[in-house]
Structure 1
């Protein structure tokens, strides 16, 4: 997707992808990763998700990447904290306490920019990208995170009924994208079409939300 597409969505408050609550998948499955206190969690394309406040409340550190400056500003405003802001070569770095967000192009982030990463929580990043961009995105996240374990959320629906974003990403593609670095385990699968008004009204008949656990397989990418 072109950057202006997402900037426009934020500018026009077209935020169907933003949940006004903490994602139940995160609450349900994060304990299974057995993270230590103070673990550092990377949230790519984070928007202003309320998941970040919940993660901070659990005692973890969060580092995010987000294109929209408007989204990042709203995130810190809703957390009711005043960030320090400085520049990096692709945008602006916002920081307060255990939260750091790199606002700008995630693909411009150099390896090592995030520091230690104990978990990647991908709730809305992979599914936001069309198929031609996904391989590049996956390689970037693996490089940035040092192939840290991931909690990944995907969607499955018939693209002939409607096009995304969010886009459908099927298990075969996931194994092609991640299988060189990770063993993939499906954690849950649920049809959430009842909560997807835009897709339901367009005639989509089934909208599966799938949670995945990705852990190092020992293979070389």
Structure 2
């Protein structure tokens, strides 16, 4: 997917993917990762999600990757954390205490840049990518994090009813992408269309939200 697509989304404030609350499934299932205080969570394609503030409040270090400068700037501003900004090979690194965000192309991020995180939280990365890019993303994420355990949230719907993003990623594709490297447990699957009028307007007749533990 062309990076300019996402730059335009942020420039035009077309942020339907940005939740105005901490994701309920993160609150419900974070304990499945069995993290200890001070451990590190990697959040790919993180935007300015409120989930990062929640993870920091729980005592974890957070490393994120995000393409948009606007998103990263607004994230640090919302947390009242003036960042130290330094370059890396794919863009700029924003850092304040236990929060580091690599702004730029996630595919240029290397294991030496982030160290070895203790867990991954993917709420909006895999479903943001068209099918042709998901295999590349999954392989890169595995290499980047040394197969750290993962809390993965996806959406599932009839892709013929609506163009993504967000794209539909069913359990079968999660298994196809990650099954050879993780044991995959389904934590929850819930119909959420009644609470998503925008998706109803886009033509969906059913929308499921799924949570998986990859470990």
Q: CA deviation at 1:163?
A: 1.1
1:3 and 2:36 correspond: no
- Secondary structure, aligned partner of 2:111: coil
- Secondary structure, aligned partner of 1:113: helix
1:70-125 superposed Cα distances (whole Å, 9 cap, x missing partner): 00000000001111000001100000010000000000112221112000000000
Unaligned residue ranges in structure 1 (runs of 5+): 216-221
- Secondary structure, aligned partner of 1:4: helix
- Secondary structure, aligned partner of 1:19: coil
- Secondary structure, aligned partner of 1:136: helix
1:108 and 2:95 correspond: no
CA distance in 2, matches of 1:68, 1:8: 10
Deviates more, 1:64-73 or 1:28-37: 28-37
CA distance in 1, matches of 2:110, 2:79: 27
Q: Which residue matches 1:179?
A: 179
CA distance in 1, matches of 2:116, 2:138: 18
Check the 8 A contact 2:32/2:213 in 1, yes or no.
no
- Secondary structure, aligned partner of 2:41: strand
Scaled by the length of structure 1, the TM-score of the pair is 0.96
Q: Which residue matches 2:18?
A: 18
> How well do the aligned residues superpose, as a CA RMSD in angstroms?
0.8
**How many residues were matched structurally?**
215
- After superposition, where does 1:163-174 map in structure 2 within 5 Å? 163-174=163-174
Q: Which residue matches 1:219?
A: none
Check the 8 A contact 2:33/2:150 in 1, yes or no.
no
- After superposition, where does 1:144-155 map in structure 2 within 5 Å? 144-155=144-155
Q: Which residue matches 2:36?
A: 36
Q: CA deviation at 1:171?
A: 1.4
CA distance in 1, matches of 2:32, 2:123: 16
Q: CA deviation at 1:180?
A: 1.0
CA distance in 2, matches of 1:34, 1:214: 12
Q: Which residue matches 2:98?
A: 98
CA distance in 2, matches of 1:177, 1:188: 19
- Secondary structure, aligned partner of 2:183: strand
- Secondary structure, aligned partner of 1:65: strand
Q: CA deviation at 1:196?
A: 2.2
Unaligned residue ranges in structure 2 (runs of 5+): none
Q: Which residue matches 1:218?
A: none
Scaled by the length of structure 2, the TM-score of the pair is 0.98
Check the 8 A contact 2:67/2:106 in 1, yes or no.
yes
